[in-house]
Structure 1
Amino acid sequence: MKLLKSIFSILFLICIQQSNAQQFDLDAELKPRFEYRNGYKTLNSDAVDAASFVSQRTRLNFGYLSTDFNAYISAQNVRTWGDVGTLSTTDLNGITLQQAWAEAFLGKFSFKLGRQEIAYDNERIFGSVNWNQQARSHDALRIKFKADVNNRIDIGFALNENSESVFEQDYTVNNYKNFQYLWYNTNFNKIGLSFLFLNTGFAYTDVNEQKIAYNQTIGLTSGITENKWNADAAIYVQTGKIEKTALSALNASANFSYSLNSEFLVGLGAEYISGTDMNETDGELHSFTPWFGTNHKFNGTMDYFYVGNHSNSVGLLDFNAKINYTKNKFSANLAPHFFSAAATVIAINNIEQDNYLGTEIDLTLGYKASKSITFNAGYSQMFATDTMETIKGGDASKTNNWAWAMITFKPHFFSYTSN
């Protein structure tokens, strides 16, 4: 390890000196996580058994900072322990570039382009999705304007293709075709306010011809902090089309928390995500989709809703609470969620069901052993209803729970600063 570090140090110090860099950083991340899934994301049933496995994310990060531009490269491997044999000469997932971007500065403007994470506000619409081992990153151009310390504007663009081509080709990747967005953030006194406009195009096939359908997400988020309490609220509307279907959807949320003392914090929250009635007849889609958000942090950690699922469905009403305890290096969080469908649910026998879906209890623990080592663990239990069965399948009477334990190592190999 010392020899490898020395080699890296020599090579990159040479590069830095030749390019007159101000700072160069080399660090890594290793994050193995054990999971026991027994009704995670969907209800358990007699036909399946619980799953147990260990996944691991490994990253090597290179950062470069100067007065003219910054650059960042993050090489990543995501694996499940045992996904290849012990004598295998190849890796199942290989090495990918989770991020690879450069950002040039021109006065109050900057231009950031390449593979990059995009995260804004509470990460409901744009987020890094860091819980997922692979996380989320976009191939995009972002133009940033910082008028002053309290006012920022970002404009983003993405244009996706399968590969280089001579003529136009159909886009077949499970991804958006393009997007354009504008984000504005301002702060005054103790209040923060953000505005987001996002136009997203998805490819679809219509009579053997690929077309692009566009939908728009428009919203406001705000937050205020005052002494021991803070509150935030957000509202988003969606319009446009999903393929040929007109879209009209809404998302609204509000959260409040209060610090009882230096160790305990309590909070209440609610979120409404519109859905489409199962007996809908107006021909429109009313299901809101938080397109690129860090959805694991919302609506319970068992990921029953909007984590690769529940799209174009009956929506959600989530009333939740939290109790946080923090002391020294230890932290604990207890969060119950009370879920209901936001639209009408119809059973197989064509009878309308009660909207209550169930209650989820989430417990998470954390311990920061050092600057570079963190332990986390959690346990969740879902108490589902027959209505949850209707939209998810499975058996609500079965035990549906999930447990996990994770350790994160973040070694910092070296930093070099030149004048």
Structure 2
Amino acid sequence: MQKFIAIALLAIFVFPLQMNAQEEEKGGEFSIDINLRPRFEYRNGYSYPRLETDKPSAFISNRARIGANFDNGFLSARIAAQDISVWGQKRQNDNDGARTTMHEAWAQMRHDGFFAKIGRQSLSYDDGRILSESSWTPTGIWHDAVKLGYENPMNTIHLALAYNQSREKTNEGTFYEPVGQPYQNMQMAWYQYRNPTGFTASALFVNLGFETGDPATGNEPANSKKVYMQTMGTNIGYKNNIWNVMGTFYYQTGTNSNDEKVNAYMLALRGRYAFKPQLFLYGGTEFHPGQDPDSEKVTRMDLLYRSNHSFMGSMDYFRGYDYYGVWDKYIGLNWNPWKKLGLDLRYHHFSSQQPIDVDGTNKKVLGSEIDFTFTYPIRKHIMLEGGYSFMLATDAMPIAKDRPGNPDSWQDWAYVSLTINPTIFKSRF
């Protein structure tokens, strides 16, 4: 893996030499932007069923980011710091900066469709089902990586490489304690083809390396080894002014971070129909088999570093790695009654793939969820959004969520969020 990283770094250093010697860089643009997002949440059965003895919770979380950007056409760069906290969580004279970190720190060189990007960056592909920036979560998801690629109007190919260590080491080997990223090394390849008729097809491959066992300590030799897990899949779709249809398939094999053999997959199909530019009907299905009790391998698929909130309901009950599996069927309506206001109403029906024993009876139906959301841009750079969801769970849901007991009959969740993201300074030179 170290050799792959060295080759990628060499490619980045040689990349500027590929420029035409006659070409001169002429100035550039510098800007500073900020992003503030306070979000109120009311949780009364969010993520798992609330039992009758449980109490509702409410809080306000906040994300504050400030970023500096540079771009001269060939070279671009961004550095963005962020602070994440819940209102009231930090002391007024807080000296603990554990939740203040660098969210982005990268530089990129681009020429004739080729590019090379190095540093802390997000990796977001297709609909974010496997790799996503995960903007819903306050922290987001980033990777310290090298990314190389080529893009033209019909074809895009990206290659990403990452190699992690928990600290600087000398004569200690390369055992990685996952104090930061959950993997020790990563190799990723993504290709997308876009046809002017509206047809698109993409393929994603991710190879993750994990450390298992223990490192050497004192006179004790290491009993560790590196294992690798592969995730691969495709998204194939078609869209025009009326229809938008996409099919998804992913397969996972190899060995996971717990040194377990993996043989898992997932399927999804979704579509949208436009009655008019302001009114859409959409629906789809998503299938995750869960754990086969007769298999010696892990048959639950790990969806890696995705935006979980975008799939299988806003209340985040399911993550694809559920033991009994999940089959989600949904239908929704998206409406813009005014120029700015956006309304979305969605119904989910959840069932398990594996039967669940409920007092001696095998059941599969888990429940139904209703999600309502709205968005309204108050002014330029100011977005108001919110939502309300409730879950009507069956008696199989607490068992599926490993939450045995008598659940309360009403489970709901609500949020209101304000996003403020202006560019406060911009200059060309």
CA-to-aligned-CA distance 1:253-279 (integer Å, 9 cap, x gap): 1111111123211111001112113xx
Alpha-carbon deviation of 1:352?
5.9
> TM (normalized to structure 2)?
0.87
Alpha-carbon deviation of 1:42?
0.8
- Please identify, of 286-295 and 130-139, the stretch whose mean Cα deviation from structure 2 is larger: 286-295
* 1:109-148 mapped onto 2 (5 Å cutoff): 109-146=114-151, 148=152
Distance 1:100 1:352 in 2: 55
Distance 1:114 1:352 in 2: 54
2:356 aligned partner: 345
* 1:265-414 mapped onto 2 (5 Å cutoff): 265-277=280-292, 280-306=293-319, 311=321, 313-326=323-336, 327-346=338-357, 351=360, 353-392=362-401, 393=403, 395-414=406-425
1:251 aligned partner: 266
Q: 2:207 aligns with which of 199, 209, 214?
A: 199
Please give the secondary structure, in 2, of the residue aligned with 1:390.
Answer: helix
CA-to-aligned-CA distance 1:296-337 (integer Å, 9 cap, x gap): 10000111112xxx6362221110011101131101101111
Alpha-carbon deviation of 1:101?
0.4
Alpha carbons of structure 1 residues 65 and 352: separation in structure 2 relative to 1, 3 Å: farther
Distance 1:325 1:196 in 2: 33
Distance 1:396 1:343 in 2: 21
For structure 1, list consecutive stretches of 5 or more residues without a partner in the other structure: 1-18
Q: How many residues end up aligned between the 2 structures?
A: 391
Q: Is the 8 A contact 1:247 1:286 kept in 2?
A: yes
Please give the secondary structure, in 2, of the residue aligned with 1:71.
Answer: strand
Q: 2:40 aligns with which of 25, 34, 37?
A: 34
RMSD (Å), alpha carbons: 1.9
Distance 1:210 1:353 in 2: 42
1:9 aligned partner: none
Alpha-carbon deviation of 1:203?
2.4
* 1:47-126 mapped onto 2 (5 Å cutoff): 47-86=53-92, 88-91=93-96, 93-126=98-131
Alpha carbons of structure 1 residues 113 and 346: separation in structure 2 relative to 1, 3 Å: farther
Q: Is the 8 A contact 2:52 2:407 kept in 1?
A: no
Q: Is the 8 A contact 1:276 1:344 kept in 2?
A: no
1:150 aligned partner: 154
> TM (normalized to structure 1)?
0.89
Alpha-carbon deviation of 1:402?
0.4
Alpha-carbon deviation of 1:285?
1.1
Q: Is the 8 A contact 2:69 2:77 kept in 1?
A: yes
Alpha carbons of structure 1 residues 206 and 60: separation in structure 2 relative to 1, 3 Å: closer
Q: Specify the code of the residue in structure 2 equivalent to 1:276.
A: Q
Alpha-carbon deviation of 1:172?
2.3
1:162 aligned partner: 166
Distance 2:99 2:347 in 1: 39
Distance 2:120 2:424 in 1: 23
1:179 aligns with 2:194: no
Alpha-carbon deviation of 1:69?
1.3
Q: Specify the code of the residue in structure 2 equivalent to 1:214.
A: Y
Alpha carbons of structure 1 residues 352 and 246: separation in structure 2 relative to 1, 3 Å: farther
Distance 2:166 2:155 in 1: 37
Distance 1:20 1:273 in 2: 52
Distance 2:94 2:366 in 1: 48
Could you tell me the percent identity over the aligned residues?
30
Q: Is the 8 A contact 1:43 1:395 kept in 2?
A: no
Q: 1:190 aligns with which of 195, 198, 203?
A: 198
Alpha-carbon deviation of 1:395?
3.6
For structure 2, list consecutive stretches of 5 or more residues without a partner in the other structure: 1-24, 216-221
1:16 aligned partner: none
1:225 aligns with 2:239: yes
Distance 2:38 2:356 in 1: 39
CA-to-aligned-CA distance 1:336-357 (integer Å, 9 cap, x gap): 111111234345x6x4631111
